[in-house]
Structure 1
Amino acid sequence: MAVIQLISFELAGDEYAVDITTVNGIVKYKNYSVVKIPNASKGLEGFINLRGKAIPVFNLKKKLQYTDDTIYEDSKIIIINYSGSIVGFIVDDVTDIFKLRDEQIEQLSGSISGNCDKYIKGIGKSDDNMIVILDLILVLSENELKQVNSA
């Protein structure tokens, strides 16, 4: 029985989770200046200087097609390590760290339509609560992934 540790976060009142092993850190949005990129891909807010390295930062609400994609002063940036490349995702807030057993995670296997099934790892269930578990890197398009890998 394997156990997975997750970090939960909020987007416009909705709660999601991500596997903690992919998270390289969490920083406050207001502590960084975001350098905007003209004609950038949808959701790319720009770059931040994180420990001397330029890190691409995506607005996760834009990537998930939320109509309200506002970034707040107290928003957080979840830093993800992807094949040696570092990427940031802006979320409204980071809310918890918790564990689930494998049997508490239900795979969706074709039960949803659209493109979202590629980045949804499953639905976590604990007591009467459910939470969508995301693979944040797979939210990015193939072109964005190539750009991240070459950064």
Structure 2
Amino acid sequence: MDIRELLKKDKEQKENDQSIEVEEVISGSSIIQLVSFVLDDVEYGVDILAVHEILRIPDITRLPNTPHFIKGVINLRGNVIPVVDVRKRFGYTQGKITDLTRIIVIETNDKQIGLLVDNVHQVVRIPVSHVDPPSELIEGVSDEFITGIGRLKDRLIVILNISNIIFEEEDETALVQSELMR
């Protein structure tokens, strides 16, 4: 699935979410756009502006002496991109790689990073007024990883702080950053 397909789904969602758009116009609030993905039946979102592309799973080269959540690296058109296993980073059990598993290539701190996720869902548009601060009720995910919780009709989307997912701990940061410098 590429960005064009996600934007097509986004267009379809816009047509279906008339009530949210009307509310947005009335309240004058701004909109955030997220690429949503699923891990263990929980929907997460990352800012679409950080997303470079979405890939099917290529060959991943494992590296020694890297943090437990680094799955390895991939070669993306001559660029070596580290891949973070988001399941491991969040403390979930190991998942199986399926036909739906994807790598979301994002850009953070001027570096490209791949996020290994179970399933990329769609592009969602959420009024900022529908985003609540992080909650302590989300099990297994540090509130340092979360920017907020988006409410979209009957769905909740956990909005992630990508920089903290990658660079939270100093000792892990040094390892990841050294890999990024290669």
Tell me if TM exceeds 0.5: yes
User: Structure 1 residues 51 and 144, CA, compared in 2 at 3 Å: closer, same or farther?
Assistant: farther
Query: Which has more radius of gyration?
Result: 2
Q: Does 1:41 align with 2:33?
A: no
Question: Pick from 123, 133, 136: which aligns with 1:107?
Answer: 133
Q: CA deviation at 1:128?
A: 2.2
User: Structure 1 residues 21 and 103, CA, compared in 2 at 3 Å: closer, same or farther?
Assistant: same
Q: CA deviation at 1:115?
A: 7.0
Unaligned 5+ segments in structure 2 are: 1-28
- Give me the TM-score of the superposition, normalised by structure 2: 0.73
Aligned equivalents of 2:151, 2:106: Cα separation in 1:
24
Q: CA deviation at 1:58?
A: 1.1
- Give me the TM-score of the superposition, normalised by structure 1: 0.87
Residue aligning to 1:67: 93
Alpha-carbon displacement from aligned partner over 1:10-52 (angstroms, at most 9, x marks no partner): 11222111111111111111xx111111232111111100110
| Contact in 2 for aligned 1:123/1:130 (Cα 8 Å) | yes
Aligned equivalents of 2:33, 2:54: Cα separation in 1:
16
Residue aligning to 2:30: 2
User: Structure 1 residues 16 and 86, CA, compared in 2 at 3 Å: closer, same or farther?
Assistant: same
Unaligned 5+ segments in structure 1 are: none
Counterpart of 2:136, as a letter, is: I
Identity of aligned residues (%): 33
Question: Pick from 139, 142, 153: which aligns with 1:127?
Answer: 153
Greater helix percent: which structure?
2
Greater strand percent: which structure?
1
Number of aligned residue pairs: 147
User: Structure 1 residues 5 and 78, CA, compared in 2 at 3 Å: closer, same or farther?
Assistant: same
Aligned equivalents of 1:130, 1:91: Cα separation in 2:
18
| Contact in 1 for aligned 2:37/2:122 (Cα 8 Å) | yes
| Contact in 1 for aligned 2:81/2:114 (Cα 8 Å) | yes
